[in-house]
Amino acid sequence: MSESPDRQHNKSQAVVLLSGGLDSATVLAIATSHGHRCHALTFQYGQRHACELRAARSVAGQLAAACHLVVPIPVDLFSNSALTDPSIQVPQEPGPAAEIPVTYVPARNLAFLSLAVAYAESIRATAVYIGANAVDYSGYPDCRPEFIAAFEKAACLATRTGVEGTPIAIKAPIISMSKRDIIALGTELGVNYALTHSCYDPDPATDAACGCCDSCRIRRQAFLDAGVPDPTRYTGDVCEEPPGTTSR
């Protein structure tokens, strides 16, 4: 049974960064479970594969987001990354733990959160949700708790709502969760993970995941650890075994 328009109007508004991956899909479900009327926000920033955008649209629909906004960003702003530059090969093996991988997109979460806060203030949302994760991740500096905390302070100083005493909260509810626990929670909240996309190097003709890139390895291991069937479509060249322990 759908909610009445009056009840929907009385809900607090939240902006949810939605990439189309399993983390952001879970966070959208979490934000909805917190009672928010969720505005999903996706960026088209020159990522190499449009399947990520299609996944975000599907997830927003499945989880009944109040609206879904796809915002184009000039491609040149996010160069020098394997996720935006086809000339840079996506690694098929985890790299050294101390190195930031070539799949890092320069200051991506910093830029995305800044735009999300602007959108949130414009629509009088009380919170911005992001699917940053600092446990099973690829060593990206903008996925760490200290970054999220510092950004929230900066957003408070830089916005009218913050100055007037009603700052926009920056929520990263899965930042300290393992991928296994994220999948378990998302499954409980009704996320259809078959709609999500995580692969860094999918088949361009079918969108099937490669099964060997860092993101695929983490995803495959997470479903295995969670005891949840992996609904991902893989190519025929899936690596034989996902890693037991990632190199993060």
Please report the domains of the chain, with CATH numbers, ordered by start residue.
5-226 (3.40.50.620)
Residue 94 confidence (pLDDT):
61
Residue 243 confidence (pLDDT):
45
The number of C-alpha atoms within 13 Å of 117 and in the hemisphere containing its C-beta is 25
Residue 99 confidence (pLDDT):
79
Pick from 45-49, 68-72, 90-94 the range whose average pLDDT is largest. Answer: 68-72
Statement: residue 247 has pLDDT above 50: no
- Cβ burial of 178 (10 Å; 0-12, 13-18, 19+) is middle
Please give the average per-residue pLDDT across 134-163, as a whole number. Answer: 91
Residue 138 confidence (pLDDT):
64
How many CB atoms are closer than 10 A to CB 96? 8
Q: Quick one: tokens of 35?
A: 């009672």
Please give the average per-residue pLDDT across 210-215, as a whole number. Answer: 90
The number of C-alpha atoms within 13 Å of 146 and in the hemisphere containing its C-beta is 2
Residue 97 confidence (pLDDT):
60
Please give the average per-residue pLDDT across 83-104, as a whole number. Answer: 79
Cβ atoms of residues 233 and 210 within 8 Å: no
Interatomic CA distance for residues 85 and 89, integer angstroms? 9
Each residue's pLDDT tens digit, 18-67: 999 999 999 999 999 999 999 999 999 988 878 999 999 999 999 999 99
- The alpha carbon torsion through 43, 19, 150, 184 (nearest 10 deg) reads 170
Interatomic CA distance for residues 168 and 155, integer angstroms? 7
Q: Residue type at 32? A: T
Please give the average per-residue pLDDT across 132-152, as a whole number. Answer: 89
- The model's confidence at residue 139, banded by pLDDT at 50, 70 and 90, is confident
* Confidence (pTM): 0.90
Q: Quick one: tokens of 179?
A: 């991928």
